[in-house]
Amino acid sequence: CASCSPLVMWCSASVDILFLLDGSYSVGRGSFERSKHFAGKLCDALDIHPGRVRVGMIQFSSTPHLEFPLNSYLTKQEVKERIKTTVFRGGSTETGRALKYILRKGFPGGRNLTVPKILIIISDGKSQGSTTVPATQMKERGTTVFAVGIKFPRWEELHALASEPTEQHVLFAGDASDAVNGLYSALSSSVCSVTTPGCEVESFPCERRTLESEKELAGNYVCWKGSKLQNTVYASLCPFYRLKRVSIRHPSRCFRTVCVGSLLTLHLLLLWSHLDPCDSQPCQNGGTCVPEGLDKYHCLCPMGYGGGVQCGRCQPDFSLLPSQLSCLAPKLSLECGVDLLFLMDSSAGVTLEGFLRYKAFLKRFLHAVMSWDSPTNVGVAQYDTNVRIPIEVGQHKDAFGLMKSIDALSFSGGGTLTGRALRYVAQHGFRSTPVFADVLDDLPRVVVLLTDSKSQDPVAEAAKYARDRDLFLIGVGSSFVRAELAEVTGNPKQTIVYSDPQDLFNKIPELQRRICSVNRPEEAKSPVNLCKPNPCMNQGVCILRPGSYWCDCHGWEGPHCESRVPRGDSPRSPVLPTGSHVQQFPSSLQHFSGAHQHPRRT
C-alpha cells in the first residue's frame, strides 16, 4: 500500500509553498477530497513556522479563490485542519486563469524574492483553455512548479505545466507517500534533507494509466442531404458514433523509498515487482480495471455483473445464460399505467460526474422497461436552486424523441433545494385537466427523486405536501442520503439505496417493481367495466370488446365521437364503422381496478 512508505524527508528552510487545487466538476467531489488528503500528507514533512516554511492554498475552477494566504497559520496542525475544511466549489477547469491570477497577485502572504517559491498544482490536467504561456512565465520568474495528477489525468498537460526535468516534477497523488518523498527529494539539499538513517528516495521508469474517450463507429442511418437542384433532396447513409472509454498507458517515472537492510525494503520490492495491480487484468466479463495505489484496484462492471470485486457473478435479478458467457437481464416492462416524473438533482452537490451518471441511468432504465405500447407517460424535471421541467409528462410518444431530449439535458450547478423542488412538481409537474371533459384522468402519479446530495432546505413539509396530493414518491440515492430519502418518501420501502456508482445501474429491476407497486393496493380489487362511466361523447354508444371498447358514433367521429361529421349522419352498423374507434388497454386493467381507484383530479 502507498502508506507503507515512511516519510524520510524533512524540510526546514525558508521556503514559500502554495497549493493550487483543481476544484472543477471534471475532478469531482471525491477526487477533490483525495487532493486534500495528498496536500495534508505533504505538510507532514514541513517545518511550518513563520520564519521557515509557509503554506497557502488557492482553489480554482471557473475562477480562482484564495482559501488561505501563506501568513495565515503558524503551525502544521493549523494548516492541516484548514485544508480538511476546504469545501469543493465546482465549475469549469480554467487552469490558465488561475496561473494568471498568481502571476498578477504573487504568492499571497509570501515573502520577498530571496525566499524560494514552490507551486504545487493538483489537477486532472483537463483545462478548458491554454496554459502554455502563463505556465512558461511562472517558471521564468524562478518558481518551481510541481504538477500532481489526480483521478485519470491528462499527462501531456501536466508535463507542460511542470518544471524541468519533468520526470522529477510530475507526480501522481494515488501513490501518496512515495510521491511526497519524491517531490521533496527533487528540491536542493538546502531545503529538504533525509532524516531516516539508511533510507533514500530513488526514481525508476514506470507507466501511468488514464481513461480517455474515443469515438467508435457504431453504424449508419438514413439521412437527407441537400441538393443544388431546386426542390430536390438526396437520401444517403450517414455514420453515427459512440464514445468508448479506453485505458491508455503513458511512460513516466515513479518514486520509491529504499531503506537498506530493512524488512521494509524487501516488502516494497515485492510491491514494485507488481507496481500496477491491473497488469494481471483481474476484472472479468468485460469489466474495466481502475488502479488505486500500488496494490489496490476496483472494477467497473458491465450491467448485470458485480458479484465480488472482479465482476465474476451475476447481480440479483439477473440470470446466467446457458452458454455461461453472459448475464441475462430480467424481462422488464412497465405494464402499469402511470404518469411518471423523474426529478433529477442538478446541483453542485452531485457534481457534473454524478449528473451524467443519472442521465445514463435514466436512459438505461427507460430502454429496459419501455415499449411502443407502454401505458406509461414519462417526464423529466431537474433542480438546483431553481426547478425546471424540460420534458413534460407525456410530451414524447416515442422512445427516440424521449432519449434525444434526455441527451440534451445540461448540468446547471447551484444550491440543493430539494424541498422547493418537491413542492414545485406537486403543483406544476402533472397536467391538471383531462383531454376530454367526461373521461377520468386517473393514472397514478409517481415521482422518482434522483439525488446524492443533502438538501439545503427542509424536505419533510414539502414531501408531505406532495404526498397529500396523491403523488407516490420514490427516492433513489447513495447511503449518504438514506435518512433524507426515507423522510421524503414517508416509507423506507419506497427508497432505493446504492452502495457505489456501479451499483446504481443494478437497481433497475428494483425501481421497476417500486413504480408498479402503486397499482397494487392491499385491499381486494374489483372488476372494471371500461364503459362505465361512458367514455364516448355526444351520445355515442360504448361497446365492450375483449380487453377494449369502441365508440359507435352517430353524426360524429373520432376516438370518442368528439368531432362532427361534415356530411350528414353516419349510419350505425353492427360492425366497426368508419366513425368508430377501438380503444386498447393493457392487460392489467382489463380485469382489475387497482389503477382506477384514484379520485378524479381537477
pLDDT for 364 equals 82
Could you say which residues of the chain have pLDDT below 70?
1-9, 174-179, 181-182, 184-185, 187-215, 218, 221-236, 241-280, 285-296, 298-310, 312-335, 371-373, 432-442, 519-530, 532-533, 545-549, 567-602
pTM for the whole thing? 0.45
What was the pLDDT predicted at 304? 58
Unique residue bearing C-alpha cell 447511503: 479
Residue 182 CA to residue 345 CA, distance in Å, equals 41
**Nearest residue to 150 via CA among 59, 302, 28:** 28
**Eight-state DSSP code of residue 560:** T
pLDDT tens per residue across span 526-567: 345 667 667 778 888 888 766 566 788 888 888 778 788 876
Please list the alpha-helical segments (H only) found in 89-128.
Answer: 95-105
Angle (CA) 20-26-32 rounded to 5° is 50
pLDDT at 255: 66
Instruction: Return the residue matching grid coordinates 418537491.
Output: 422
| Cβ proximity of 345 and 383 under 8 Å | yes
Q: How is 363-431 classified by DSSP, letter by letter?
A: HHHHHHH--TT---EEEEEEESSSEEEEE-TT--SSHHHHHHHHHT---------HHHHHHHHHHHSS-
Residue 145: the pLDDT is: 93
CATH code matching the domain that covers 339-519, chosen among 2.40.30.10, 3.40.50.410, 3.10.590.10, 2.130.10.30: 3.40.50.410
Can you list the pairs that 127-130 forms with residues at least 24 positions away whose Cβ atoms lie under 8 Å? 127/93, 127/94, 127/95, 127/96, 127/157, 128/92, 128/93, 128/94, 129/94, 129/95, 129/96, 129/97, 130/96
**Per-residue model confidence as pLDDT tens digits over 91-150:** 889 999 999 999 999 999 988 888 889 999 999 888 888 899 999 999 999 999 999 988
Alpha-carbon distance of 20 to 121, in angstroms, equals 5
Q: What is the CATH number of domain 2-199?
A: 3.40.50.410
C-alpha distances (whole Å) from 212 to each of 25, 244, 245, 248, 408 are 16, 8, 6, 7, 22
Please state, in angstroms and rounded to a whole number, the distance separating the CA atoms of residues 135 and 144.
11
Report the half-sphere exposure of 444 (CA within 13 A, side-chain side).
24
**pLDDT score recorded for residue 193:** 66
Provide the pLDDT for residue 196: 59
Q: How many CB atoms lie within 10 A of CB 110?
A: 19
Q: What is the pLDDT of residue 532?
A: 67
Residue 340: predicted pLDDT: 92
The per-residue b/e assignment along 368-378, b for 16 or more CB within 10 angstroms, e otherwise, is bbbeeebbbbb
* Residue 320: CB atoms within 10 Å: 13
Q: Are 110 and 117 in contact (CB under 8 A)?
A: yes
Domain regions of the chain by residue span: 2-199, 276-328, 339-519, 541-596
**Residue (of 446, 497, 506) closest to 476 by Cα position:** 497
Query: Residue 438 region, left (φ>0) first, then alpha (ψ -120 to 50), else beta?
Result: alpha
Instruction: Name residue 63's beta-bridge partners.
Output: none
Q: What are phi and psi of 161, to 5 degrees?
A: -75, -35
Helix (H, G, I), strand (E, B) or coil at 463: helix
In DSSP notation, 125-146 reads S--SS--HHHHHHHHHTT-EEE
Give CATH superfamily name and number for 276-328.
Answer: Laminin (2.10.25.10)
3-state helix, strand, coil in the chain (%, to 5): 25, 30, 45
Q: How long a stretch of residues is the chain?
A: 602
pLDDT at 516: 83
Same fold, 2-199 and 339-519: yes
What residue spans of 481-530 are helical by DSSP H? 482-489, 501-505, 508-516
Q: How far is 124 from 155, CA to CA, in rounded Å?
A: 8
Output the pLDDT for position 585: 42
**What is the number of H-type helices and E-type strands within the chain?**
15, 27
| pLDDT score of 569 | 43
Task: Identify the pLDDT of residue 599.
Answer: 42
